[in-house]
Structure 1
Amino acid sequence: MAESDGGETPTRFFGGQTPARDILETQIEEGLHEIHRELDGLFLSGLSAGLDIGFGPLLMAVILTLSAGSYGDLPTELLLASAYSIGFIFVVLGRSELFTEHTTLAVLPVIDGRASLRDLGRLWSVIFVSNVIGGLVFALFVVNVIPTIGVVRPESFVTVAEKLIDHGAWGMFLSAVLAGWLMGLLSWLVTAAQSTMGRLLIIWLITAAIGLLHLPHSIAGNVEVLFGLFLAPEITLADYGRFLVLATLGNVVGGSVFVALLKYGHISRG
């Protein structure tokens, strides 16, 4: 059994698995690192994440263009879900800052008494704003460039957007809670994984599930709905604002309550 030295992450294993208490401590330390990071570094990392995650919705539109152009049949749905996960793989393995990971990661140091709510608000604000700006830049670039090379029909972008905004307000919020819950589990399980291939599989499984269920993810969905906003007159700025607010609130509740609070509670009292 090896003990941590000088603040390094413990490397104890039992039965080939990382102990839950070690995962918790690693998550707290990572959250503290980001909370104390310089604002410009946080912003640039969040901007990168907002840009990179857009490749998932873009590939979804490409698949819809190459297929029948609609959701419904199982092969198309599975392809779309796998395409959706690509952006998350870029972001999570690339170690960029994604808001929905920090709805769990950054909450844990606050629960543990090592950071304040003010620290949490600062971190969330910088990462959320930079993620949204990155998605906006990506969406503007894509809708102006990609259709001109003939690989995506504009209608496919609109189809992707409409799938998210068709939810009622209560349904959108509750489904966003599920998405935030899954993203919190992703952060937890990626920390527990002991290899890059293991992390890759976890990211694909969880984010493909979000895509297959069409759950509202505030950052990836930001790009999806912006596609529709820029290309379809029937999708309005009010639709976009409604989506962003409800998806963000639901994601925060899912990651903070169903992962951060519950995991911390049962492990700290174990």
Structure 2
Amino acid sequence: MIDRPLVEKSAATGQRKVTLLEKDPARYIARAVLAGMFLSIVVFVFWSLLNDLHDTPFGKVIGSAFFGVGLCIIVFTNTELFTSNNMYLAVSSAEGRTTWGKTVALWTVCWLGNFVGALVVGGLLYGAGVLGTLPESHALFAGAEHKVHQAMSVIFFKGILANWIVCLAVRVSMGMKEDIAKIVTIICVVFIFLYLGFEHSIANMGTFTMSLLGHGSITMGEAAYNLVFATLGNIVGGALFVGIPLRFVNPKSDGTESVGH
């Protein structure tokens, strides 16, 4: 099968991640925190672009195109993002290289590490006086308010769609050898979920943190409400819409299946 090597690569990646968490948890957590920081600063630029270019027809296009830079940074710095790990660990567990129990544990640690990273960047922007200067009408605050006032089913399905797209970006870029090809692919594919307004739990962490520290009107309870259903949707999108199908349509060449734990 032409994509069988990609399945093996994804499974090996998931196994390495679990091994790192078990043998050197501090280093794994640091990688997760850094990923949350990288994505959160890009989130702030995204909302700033939407706000500053709102009078032009290109604001949403430029902002959505820029957002892929965040995933590029994470991929090229080898840091740990919860949403892409939904795909990697689903493949490695389906292949029997990791257990589902260890997968859930890693997802939990990674999610919390990403959250800490979002808090760090939000705190830095607050300390620098950046958030305090934003008007109440800023796109960041309006965006955060819109996100928390959706029905739970809407957030959940938007979460599925968001991580389906994000993990497709990672999956397609894995098959490319040249760095520039990977960058272009990631930015172009990630553009889809941003432009269509889907829900990415880790990106939302940054948005909500900045809104709460600034002049936003949302509450912590409302932020938590969104994050719960966006996270569940992201898991389904990454694991059941990309990871498991990737492995299912590319079985071992001899027709046998790996036995899971």
Same fold by TM-score greater than 0.5:
yes
Partners of 2:147 and 2:46 in 1: CA distance: 13
Structure 2 counterpart of 1:182: 165
Moved over 6 A (4+): none
More deviation, 257-266/163-172: 163-172
Deviation, structure 1 residue 153 = 4.2
TM-score normalised by structure 2 residue count:
0.88
Distance 1:61 1:145, change over 3 A: farther
Q: Which is further off, 161-170 or 257-266?
A: 161-170
In the TM superposition, what are the counterparts of 1:1-270 in structure 2 within 5 Å?
Answer: 19-37=2-20, 38-68=24-54, 74-147=57-130, 153=135, 155-156=137-138, 157-232=140-215, 234-268=217-251
TM-score computed with the length of structure 1 as normaliser: 0.85
Q: Which runs of 5+ in 2 are unaligned?
A: 254-261
Which digits, 9 at most, give the CA deviation of each residue in 1:21-69, with x for residues without a partner? Answer: 1111111111111111121111000000000111222112322442347
Q: Is the 8 A contact 1:104 1:187 kept in 2?
A: no
Shift of 1:86: 2.4
Identity of aligned residues (%): 20
The Cα of 1:149 is off from its aligned counterpart by: 9.6
1:148/1:40 Cα in 2 relative to 1: closer, same or farther (>3 Å)? closer
| 1:214 Cα offset (Å) | 1.2
Post-superposition shift, 1:199? 0.8
Tell me, in whole angstroms, the C-alpha distance in 2 between the residues paired with 1:269 and 1:34.
23
How many residue pairs get aligned? The number is 249
Equivalent position of 2:258 in the other structure = none
Runs (5+) with no aligned partner, structure 1: 1-17
Partner of 2:198: helix, strand, or coil? coil
- Aligned to 2:250, the other structure's residue is in SS state helix
Mapped partners of 2:48, 2:147: distance in 1: 17
